[in-house]
Structures are given as C-alpha cells and as structure tokens.
C-alpha cells in the first residue's frame, strides 16, 4: 500500500476539499478517491472528475493501513 497526496484546483472556496493524503495500491486508485465521499462526483466539493486530480507519491504506508482517505483539507464556510 502506498501513500499519495491528492489535490485539485477546479472547485475552491467555502465547503470544498483542496487536498488529501490517501492510501491506495497505485496512482490510478488514488486518483479515484474522493475526500468528499461522493462516489458519483455530483458535488462541487471536489474535482469534477478524476482526471482533474493531481497525484503525488509520498511513500509506503505502514503495515495494516487500509485503502482510503487518511487526512483531508476542507475549507469550511
């Protein structure tokens, strides 16, 4: 399992996520994770689609870490 920093600049302002640290098996899986937990990408709190997400590999996760969002940056309004 790897750790990635995912970020987006499409939707900004109040009540949006701009970045998150996620655990995923690879970059493609990390890109699909949405810190807003909306599997249909219908909310304006994150990028409009996975291709608008920037992904940076941070390193390896500790043993036992499951795939998903570990920490998210949310701009509350």
24-59 pLDDT, tens per residue?
999 999 999 989 765 555 557 889 899 999 999 999
Q: How far apart are CA 7 and CA 2, in angstroms?
A: 16
pLDDT at 13 over 90: no
Count the Cβ atoms, other than its own, within 10 Å of residue 30.
Answer: 25
Q: How far apart are CA 59 and CA 74, in angstroms?
A: 23
| Per-residue model confidence (pLDDT) at position 43 | 59
pLDDT band at 76 (very low <50, low <70, confident <90, very high): confident
Closest CA to 48 of 1, 3, 8, 2: 8
Count the Cβ atoms, other than its own, within 10 Å of residue 4.
Answer: 25
């Amino acid at each position: 399992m790897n750790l990635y920093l995912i970020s987006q600049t499409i939707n900004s302002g109040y009540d949006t996520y701009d970045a998150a640290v996620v655990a995923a098996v690879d970059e493609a899986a990390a890109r699909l994770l949405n810190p807003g937990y909306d599997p249909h990408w219908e909310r304006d709190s994150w990028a409009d689609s996975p291709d608008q997400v920037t992904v940076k590999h941070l390193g390896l996760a500790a043993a036992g870490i499951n795939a998903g969002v570990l920490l998210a940056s949310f701009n509350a309004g």
